Amino acid sequence: MNKKIKKFVLQTILFITFILSFLNSSKAQVFKQEAIEYRNRGYTAQQSGDIETALVYYQKAVSLDPYYAVAYNDLGIVYEMKGHLDKAESAYLKAVSIDPNFAEAHCNLAFFYEAKKMYDRAVVHWMRRIELGSKEDFWTQKCWEKLWHYAPDKAKELEARLLAREVAIQMEKEKEVRVVRAKKLYEEAMAYYNKRDYVRALPLFQEAYELLPNEPELAQMYQEVFAKTREINISLHYEQAMAYFRQGEYGLAKEEFEKILELIPQQPSKSQ
């Protein structure tokens, strides 16, 4: 009896926990949606010049969703406009702590610190803003100008790092292209290989191998087909040489035998 009661109590607790979790999740989603709506109202008010109303809406937005980075950034802008610099700094920092890749907040922080003559801090956020932006973006270019002005050594360092990253990305893209091309060549080569048509398979394996020389399976197949093709060519040259020999064409026969010698791999000489 006690076991049945315990089982029932446990099941009831689990059920209630599930329901509460579901309700809390649903409630959180509602709050997030409301936060977006309040932020949008605040932005509209800010655009029309009504800073006080914008401030109220932004504060409401972050109270509904404490992880709303965009609203915190908006708060920072409004606080800065009102001259509440400590609150502005806190709001900007909160935005980038929630979303470290929030380019606009990094940009705002950089120019905020520049205005306060805190150039070392500004440099950190100019660099981050540049890393997050595209080359053609207006604010990326503006941040580059500031970085070159205040910290040319840091600008050189960042320029080199971004160039290295760009090269790495390009190399990765080229590798992906090579992999796709090599796979297609390999499949075509295998089709000939399975038909024992090694002569046609060889150039396809060779091209695939040149694209991906570090692939063991591809290297093995290329070497195998290369050896088979060499044997075929040696046999063909031998037959042709013997035909010339029987016809008394000794010069031509000699040329065919020399071709055979070129195809036969040289054995390493033994030390005397």
Higher per-residue confidence, 60 vs 30: 60
pLDDT of residue 23: 47
Q: Which long-range contacts does 28-37 make (Cβ < 8 Å, 24+ apart)? A: 31/64, 31/65, 32/64, 32/65, 32/68, 34/64, 35/60, 35/61, 35/62, 35/64, 35/65, 35/68, 35/71, 36/61, 36/68
pLDDT of residue 244: 87
b/e burial code for range 152-186 (CB count within 10 A of at least 16 → b): eebbeebeeeeeeeeeeeeeeeeeeeeeeebeebb
pLDDT of residue 270: 37
Mean pLDDT score, 11-18: 60
pLDDT of residue 2: 59
Report percent pLDDT > 90 for the chain.
Answer: 66
Q: How confident is the model at residue 125 (pLDDT cuts 50, 70, 90)?
A: very high
Higher per-residue confidence, 235 vs 11: 235
Mean pLDDT score, 140-149: 97
Q: How far apart are CA 226 and CA 224, in angstroms?
A: 5
Q: How confident is the model at residue 253 (pLDDT cuts 50, 70, 90)?
A: confident
In order of 152, 265, 269, the CA distances from 272 in angstroms are: 65, 21, 9
For residue 25, is pLDDT > 60?
no
What letter would DSSP give residue 66? Answer: T
pLDDT tens digits along 43-83: 999 999 999 999 999 999 999 999 999 999 999 999 999 99
Mean pLDDT is lowest, of 167-176, 241-250, 252-261, 263-272, for: 263-272
pLDDT tens digits along 164-207: 999 999 989 998 999 999 999 999 999 999 999 988 999 999 99
pLDDT tens digits along 262-271: 877 643 333 3
Mean pLDDT score across all residues of the chain: 88
Residue pair 11/42 in contact (Cβ under 8 Å)? The answer is no
Mean pLDDT score, 109-118: 97
